[in-house]
Structure 1
């Protein structure tokens, strides 16, 4: 690479063909999550041939496929606009990879498009610029040629004579050392290579920047090209830089999302879950790592049947109101006579209920007369304000009790689902026992594992169903929803009870196997009824919520 990069965003005329050849990339290969053979028990039911109207299709892509997608688009723009690959990449990133918008803007006003993206406008071959070393901030004059038909040449900055002093570290370089130890981009701002390296490394490593790294000169919006960064920084920082570029590409695309699970590098592509549809569908997709996720909000698991916005509201409320619940339990108590909620607002343990005037000890909740401090008097009570306070307190208490009703059940199912590892271990031991006691093969005892899978799946659905129920308005549709919820919960509890049964002899194994198989099928049926009715209800707009979705 040349140490000088004046107007270096454009090729020499004789270099263009070679660069185009090097830019050819392989076609994007789709990695689909659809199984080769349809299996009714496959966890990726969403990709089955007969999709439900509320399901979405998706593809699982590797990082290399994402890189190929970028290179394919860069090569296309490079050819159409007749700019080098690095310039095409900067233009595409500025226009958020919207090639149509980029081309429209470029053909209308190429100088404006290039300047907005942080690039220099094309220069005439006859235009040469000689910036003075002592004035690195001085801009070069350029003539602009509109249209892609004319060949674009690269002009170079030329230092005439005399030493050069780096504006950052004040290191001085003689004429022979300038080209070797300093670098200037097309904007003409020259700095020593050590300062460039430190600046670029800090931007990438500490600040996590990639596509928007600009020239060090204050007020200069020139974007640093990829090849410049690759040459000036260490290999590990260069690798991080390109990883950040790939992450930015995925973040900028509405149809791509990283799998959020730890140590997974797959990317999900889905074009059927735009933000405007997230009030009607819950776009659950599956990754090749074996985990599900919500493509709409990026939640690291399936939260069906609840909409993404409801999930966010619920989690925020849980984060806020769980602390409220803890505070109430620590700082309030019930009057032992009238059951009113009382807050201790002072250091004295002599408490008087404002509702029934009952005096008691805050510590033991016993009558205060037994403590021998009858001299204590409390302030006069304002009856009117007391009534208002009691009404507001009753409303707040009722609201909190309603929230705790749903939160406790939500948390209970969440905890039960998290104990699946222990549940699996117990089931595996029981499967081994059935093999030894009933002379069954390993495949014949798989019904127990399938039953555990059904329980965990149903508990996850029940957990989120309580989140949905909290925000539902009370009407006939809500009653039907809660009936389906109740039936599934009852079926799950019955199946869980059967899985906990002890095995005594061969006859009991046979009966238990039949009972578990039948109950697991019933759980799956009730699960499908709840899920199908709820998700279709979004499309039919049957559900009404207490919040705006």
Structure 2
């Protein structure tokens, strides 16, 4: 393969970089780091890739495919992107399918066929060409184009690419500027035409970002301002830990949420974010006039309601929604008026109120553990001070590490407890759910006691006694957390759990 065919990738596109860059095909320092979060049966191996290592991984993928298909590297990249960087799928289509159709769908010119450049430009006797964007006549050296045959002046190309990249944020799918031409601009052409180093950098960033987003085995770390990505060998709902320290679920990208499954967490977050609970509140705290259906809120103690709709003004009972007139002085016995319509209205009201109260029960506990988790992350600073103080009183560095270990386990238990309330919200009552709630209660009680020890009880006077208590309690919490999670996962495997719709 000729060297001019090689597309060159040097920078990942991290926009904090500075100077003009050429895409350099070889990147140094491949990743040796292999991280795993847990040591139990749920262990999940992965790699953390830096910006340069992401680029190298992309280049390696392109080269792996290109050793077989033997086409320009830029064309290979476009094909891989078309198949979401699934090399096996690309190979299958390339050798078993219609290659002309494949290249057409991927929006590239078939490199195996000699291209007859379309005579779309008006060539003057003096050897000049007219650019169909700016309509200025240029010498042939000032004109260029893709293999589709459409040629434009270098200045128009540069402005077109800059607009697409900087204003529209397009990198992978910039098409030829000719009307209705689907052919994509390859990386080598784009980098050769762009003049501004900032635009080149942005283009590289878009290419790299698309590579990670399209590749199902890669995911950017969702932590703010983190430029690392996680690479796995297979996709699963398992925890991964970034180099920056952030732990998240590889499958959905959210904070690690065991024992809740991704779909349940997504539904819960939607429930918390949208207006569904506002509607529940309205349903639980208001009623409709039985005659005109106007929404009415009870703002006093009297159950005699008068609709304020000027065209209605119905008198009815707030309790049973029946007409007020028959109630007389015995309004408080209105439940004896058991007409079907009134009974249906009461049942709907009670059901809505019960649903709201159930949601608030689990939501309040979920939010409480979330808030406690935020506070307990601040414990690290306080614990550091206590550890330094202890070292000044004849304790070694190793002897005081129990405090940091305790805070680590406390935060893990808080996070698990937070998501157990999401899991419990969707869970129907069964014998196994009762066992789950007992495990949850036991873990919650132990976690609260450990939190109290760490926040209030450690003083220099009781140091020896409290150290043993803290160590015993965090070991107990750790064991109860693992027991709870094992039970939930066993339930998933044996199909124990029954969910509310």
Task: Note the 1:295-444 alignment, pairs <5 A.
Answer: 295-299=250-254, 301-320=255-274, 321-324=276-279, 336=301, 354-355=318-319, 385-432=341-388, 434=390, 439-444=394-399
Mapped partners of 1:168, 1:485: distance in 2: 68
Q: Alignment partner for residue 197 of structure 2, among 215, 235, 239?
A: 235
Residues 221 and 212 of structure 1, relative CA distance in 2, 3 Å threshold:
same
Task: Note the 1:156-195 alignment, pairs <5 A.
Answer: 161=126, 164-170=129-135, 172-173=136-137, 177-195=138-156
Residues 427 and 24 of structure 1, relative CA distance in 2, 3 Å threshold:
closer
Residues 522 and 541 of structure 1, relative CA distance in 2, 3 Å threshold:
same
Please tell me whether residue 486 in structure 1 is matched to residue 441 in structure 2.
yes
Offset of 1:450 from its aligned partner? 2.3
Mapped partners of 1:344, 1:460: distance in 2: 49
Q: Alignment partner for residue 74 of structure 2, among 86, 97, 111?
A: 86
- Look up the match of 2:400: 445
Offset of 1:417 from its aligned partner? 0.4
Task: Note the 1:97-136 alignment, pairs <5 A.
Answer: 97-107=85-95, 108-122=97-111, 129=117, 131-134=119-122
Residues 64 and 160 of structure 1, relative CA distance in 2, 3 Å threshold:
farther
Does the 8 Å CA contact 1:268/1:287 hold for their aligned counterparts?
yes
Task: Note the 1:69-84 alignment, pairs <5 A.
Answer: 69-84=57-72
Residues 542 and 113 of structure 1, relative CA distance in 2, 3 Å threshold:
same
Offset of 1:106 from its aligned partner? 3.4
Residues 311 and 232 of structure 1, relative CA distance in 2, 3 Å threshold:
same
> Does the residue aligned with 2:378 lie in a helix, a strand or coil?
helix
Mapped partners of 1:293, 1:479: distance in 2: 29
- Look up the match of 1:31: 32
- Look up the match of 1:544: 498
Deviating more after overlay: 246-255 vs 537-546: 537-546
Residues 336 and 89 of structure 1, relative CA distance in 2, 3 Å threshold:
same
Please tell me whether residue 273 in structure 1 is matched to residue 227 in structure 2.
no
> Does the residue aligned with 1:419 lie in a helix, a strand or coil?
helix
- Look up the match of 2:245: 290
Deviating more after overlay: 512-521 vs 92-101: 92-101
Residues 161 and 81 of structure 1, relative CA distance in 2, 3 Å threshold:
farther
RMSD in angstroms over aligned alpha carbons? 3.6
Q: Which ranges of structure 2 fall in alignment gaps of 5 or more residues?
A: 9-23, 287-296, 322-336
Offset of 1:391 from its aligned partner? 1.4
> Does the residue aligned with 1:546 lie in a helix, a strand or coil?
coil
Mapped partners of 2:234, 2:7: distance in 1: 35
Offset of 1:434 from its aligned partner? 4.7
- Look up the match of 2:475: 521
Give the structure-1-normalised TM-score: 0.73
> Does the residue aligned with 1:473 lie in a helix, a strand or coil?
coil
Cα offsets for 1:239-258 (capped at 9, x unmatched)? 11121111111122211111
Cα offsets for 1:111-137 (capped at 9, x unmatched)? 332222222234766x75461523xxx
Deviating more after overlay: 63-72 vs 248-257: 63-72
Mapped partners of 1:464, 1:448: distance in 2: 25
Does the 8 Å CA contact 1:196/1:232 hold for their aligned counterparts?
yes
Q: Which ranges of structure 1 fall in alignment gaps of 5 or more residues?
A: 1-14, 35-43, 135-157, 275-281, 358-380
- Look up the match of 1:462: 417
Does the 8 Å CA contact 2:280/2:353 hold for their aligned counterparts?
no
Give the structure-2-normalised TM-score: 0.80
Does the 8 Å CA contact 2:37/2:239 hold for their aligned counterparts?
no
Does the 8 Å CA contact 1:487/1:526 hold for their aligned counterparts?
yes
Please tell me whether residue 512 in structure 1 is matched to residue 466 in structure 2.
yes
